[in-house]
Amino acid sequence: MDESWTRAKGVFATLAGPPVVWLVAFFLIPLGIIWAFSFGENASLTQIAINGTFSNYAHAIKPLYLGIILKSFWFAALTTVLCLVVGFPVAVAITFASEKTKAWLLLLIMLPFWTNLLIRTYALMAVLRTEGYINFTLGFLWNGVAHLAALFGYHAPAFTPLELLHNNFAVVFGLVYVQLPFMVLPLYAALDRLDRSLLEASLDLGAGQLTTFARVVVPMAMPGIVSGVLVTLIPSIGAYLTPDLLGGPSSQMIANVIERQFKTANDWPFGAALSFLLMYMTFVAIAVQAMLARGRRSARA
Amino acid sequence: MTAVAVARKAPPGPLEYLRRWPIQAWLVAVAFFLYAPLITLIAFSFNDSRRNIVWRGFTLKYYAQTFADSDLIAAFGNSLTIAAVSTAVSVALGALTALLLWRFKFPGKPALEGALALPIVVPEICMGVAMLVFFTQVMPWPTTLIWPLNLGAIIISHISFSFSFVAIVIRGRLASFNRELEEAARDLGAGEWRIFWDVIMPHMRPGLVAGALLAFTLSLDDFVITFFTSGPDTTTFPVKVYSMVRFSVTPEVNAASTILIVLTVALTAIALRLQGADVARAEMGEGL
């Protein structure tokens, strides 16, 4: 394994050529252009002058946009916490299920994850809208209760549907719906590797289920928790479709602002700066995870 | 029989969490949360009512309307074409990448590995706008080309985000290759190509299939990146559905979505079946 490239230069060039050329031409160059644009200005309607200005970044941290960036982060953090709370018991149940049940439960979690994101978001629109299934059910119950109340001479007001769609609640609800499998799978992977005899020892020695959970399971599952948090947090910060379809005017996230700069507002340099701020946030999150992982490894050594 | 009955009645063991009712209730609630929206979506595609909230009887008319909608069918054809071409190229590029990283050590290897991880971690929106700018400023893709050449910009973008995933899958498969087979072939006088085709390739094949299915699903699923690279004449199925769902919930969208759900679930089932068979074969091979 790991033959030196000088031993078979022809083979090396054949293998390396196409992927490297593709990666540079159709991935790194496009990203590089966006990066360059983030230091430029609109010179005319179609020309962008790249003059090394930081004005786009300065613009991006004005209160209006900083607020949107912080809100994106807040939505993503809330989504991550909710996914962790909802997903942990599921991961525990999968881990300690019999082999056959385990396969079915994993399929249960992963099937929605393979369904198109747009379709899942659309399905939520049908559930949450004012004439959607939740409001229909609530209205039905309300009318039932009102009929009953009318028998006793009390006239209840007509049912007013709850506003569940096009607000911040819908965005977080949608993000949790979409991201939950991403959280459960790494948690399960970490819990599955866990040494069960330690749990049994803890329970045998008199610690309750909750103490065992807090002092044994959670510390040992920490790598899985961290990677679950990461794979939930990163796509949530940059989510476009969920806030676009489920959110209202005040629940726009950073990706929606970026889209607007490129598609309607035609301020590409500013959109480019916002894109790179989002990328930097992603890289910081990954770096933090790498540092945590290294810290744990050296602590154990 | 009695033993089973007794075992069922015994209180759950300390680690049998699945037999505790709070965990069971939690699982049922999560399954309801995940599936109720999708199941109602599918069920109401057969509902004979435009309001789409009360059940008014079974109908297939929305499927008939979906199939009669030539724009939607064209978008569906585009999606399948894009997925097929981008899968073929992604598998080729992914296989080359995997073989390169598996076989050689060379200066710049960590940098290349890092660069290959980028398409996986970069937020979709960033990649979408990068592709938009690239295909308007640097390499404007002629939209007047005949079909399917006019889909080039979308296909290129899809390959760029899929082939790293494919490379990871194939590299994982190659890790289990026994290098002695390659050395034996070399000793017996086989050339590079012969070794690749007759020795490495048969081992790599399940990885290629799994990678291909992954690339196909990724391409079929993608909305955000396609949204930025598609034009008025080059819409894909998700982009078309997006324009339909933006303002209203209609039974036609339910029908179109159901078709796509069935397609992805079928593909996934095939992938699982193949990978399951692959694992089984690998275990048997080790047994020999």
Distance in Å, alpha carbon of A49 to nearest chain B alpha carbon: 13
Distance CA B138, CA B153 (A): 12
CA distance B288 to chain A (A): 24
Give the residues of chain B that fall short of pLDDT 50.
Answer: 1-6, 279-288
The CA dihedral of B270, B273, B277, B279, to the nearest 10 degrees, is 110
Rounded CA separation A141/A159 (Å): 10
Chain B contact for A224, CB < 8 A?
no
Provide the pLDDT for residue B221: 83
- Pick the residue from chain A with its C-alpha nearest to B158: A26
Residues ≥6 apart with Cβ < 8 Å to A35: A272, A276
B119/A27 Cβ within 8 A: yes
What DSSP line would sit under A77-141, residue for residue?
HHHHHHHHHHHHHHHHHHHTS-HHHHHHHHHHHHHHHHS-HHHHHHHHHHHHSTTSHHHHHHHHH
Q: What is the pLDDT of residue B275?
A: 64
Q: Tell me what pLDDT residue A115 has.
A: 81
Q: Is A278 on the interface with B (CB under 8 A)?
A: yes
Residue of A nearest to B17 (CA): A93
Among A99, A116, A289, pick the best mutation site for testing chain B contact (most B Cβ within 10 A).
A116
The pair of three-digit structure tokens given for residue B120, joined into one six-digit string: 């996986």
Residues 6+ positions from B177 with CB-CB distance below 8 Å: B102, B200, B203, B204
Model confidence over A172-231: pLDDT tens digits?
Answer: 999 999 989 888 888 888 888 887 788 788 888 877 777 877 788 888 888 888 888 888
Chain A residues close to B223, C-beta within 8 Å:
116-118, 241
Q: For A42, left (φ over 0), alpha (ψ -120 to 50), or beta?
A: beta
Query: By three-state DSSP, how is residue A54 classified?
Result: coil
Global confidence as pTM: 0.84
The answer to whether the CB atoms of A200 and B14 lie below 8 A apart is yes
Residues pairing with A96 in the sheet: none
Domain assignments of chain B as residue spans, ordered by start: 69-287
The pLDDT value given to residue B11: 65
pLDDT recorded at residue B152 = 81
CB-based contact A120 B37, cutoff 8 Å: yes
pLDDT for position B158: 92
Task: Indicate if the pLDDT at residue A80 is higher than 90.
Answer: yes
pLDDT reading at A166 higher than 60: yes
Judge contact between B217 and B165, C-beta under 8 A: no
Q: What is the pLDDT of residue A263?
A: 83
Question: Which residues of chain A from 39 to 78 reach within 8 Å of chain B, CB to CB?
Answer: none
Contact at CB, B257 and A23, closer than 8 angstroms: no
Mean of the per-residue pLDDT values for chain A?
84
Whether A262 has its CB under 8 Å from any CB of chain B: the answer is: yes
Hey, what amino acid is at A174?
G
Mean pLDDT of A146-175: 83
Q: What is the pLDDT of residue B175?
A: 79
pLDDT of residue B103: 82
Give the residue from A14, A9, A32 showing the smallest Cα distance to B93: A14
Two tokens, residue A196: 């069960």
Q: Is B277 on the interface with A (CB under 8 A)?
A: no
Contact in structure between B241 and A122 (CB atoms under 8 Å): yes
User: Is a pLDDT exceeding 80 seen at residue A298?
Assistant: no
Give the chain A residue nearest B260 (alpha carbons).
A116
Q: Is B264 near chain A, with CB under 8 Å?
A: yes
Residue in A117, A129, A235 closest to B221 by CB: A117
- C-alpha A96/C-alpha A104 separation (Å) is 13
The answer to whether the beta carbons of residues A8 and B192 sit under 8 Å apart is yes
CA distance B238 to B216: 14
Contact call for A116 and B264, based on CB within 8 A: yes
User: Which residues from B are below 8 Å from A136, CB to CB?
Assistant: 53-54
Cross-chain CB nearest to A114 (options B163, B253, B265): B265
- Beta-carbon-side half-sphere exposure of residue A227 (alpha carbons within 13 Å): 15
* Run of H or E including A235: helix A222-237
Q: Which residues are CB-contacts of B27 (< 8 A; sequence separation ≥ 6)?
A: A89, A90, A93, A105
Residue of B nearest to A38 (CA): B130
The helix/strand/coil state of A49 is strand
Distance (Å, whole) CA A225 – CA A111:
22
> Which residues in B lie closer than 8 A to residue A206 (C-beta atoms)?
none
A131 → closest Cβ in B53, B93, B118? B53
Strand duo A3-4 + B104-105: pairing:
parallel
Q: Is B13 helix (H, G, I), strand (E, B) or coil?
A: coil
* DSSP string for B118-137: HHHHS-HHHHHHHHHHIIII
| Chain B CB within 8 Å of residue A109 CB | yes
Q: Does B241 touch chain A (CB under 8 A)?
A: yes
Q: How far apart are CA B15 and CA A191, in angstroms?
A: 13
Q: Which of A9, A12, A26 to mutate to test the interface with B (most CBs of B within 10 A)?
A: A26
- Cβ of B265 within 8 Å of Cβ of A22? The answer is no
Q: Which of A7, A119, A262 is the best residue to mutate to test the B interface, defined by the most B CB atoms within 10 Å of its own CB?
A: A119
pLDDT confidence of residue A157: 79
Residue A22: strand, helix, or coil: helix
Q: For residue A297, give the amino acid letter.
A: R
What's the confidence (pLDDT) of residue A301?
Answer: 56
Q: Could you say which architecture CATH assigns to the domain B69-287? A: Orthogonal Bundle (1.10)
Residues of chain A found within 8 Å of residue B15, distances taken between Cβ atoms: 96, 196, 199-200, 203
* The token pair that represents B146 in the structure block: 């005949």
> Given an 8 Å threshold on Cβ–Cβ distance, is A282 in contact with B123?
yes
E strand residue ranges, chain B = 104-105
Amino acid in position B108: G
Length of chain B: 288
Distance, in angstroms, between A245 CA and closest chain B CA?
7
Distances (CA, A) of B153 to A270, B133, B174, B190: 24, 11, 31, 41
Please tell me the distance from the alpha carbon of residue B233 to that of residue B149, in angstroms, as a whole number: 12
- In A, minimum Cα distance to B119 occurs at A27
Residue ranges of domains in chain A, CATH in brackets: 63-129+164-300 (1.10.3720.10)
The reported pLDDT for the residue numbered B282 is 42
CB atoms within 10 A of CB A199: 20
Task: List CB contacts (< 8 A) between A126 and chain B.
Answer: 37, 40-41, 44, 52, 249, 254
- Dist CA A28 CA B119 (whole Å): 9
Strand partners, A4: B105
Do residue A240 and residue B132 have CB atoms under 8 angstroms apart? no
Query: Which of B27, B52, B126, B225 to substitute to test the interface with A, most A CBs within 10 Å?
Result: B126
Size of interface A-B (CB pairs under 8 A): 242
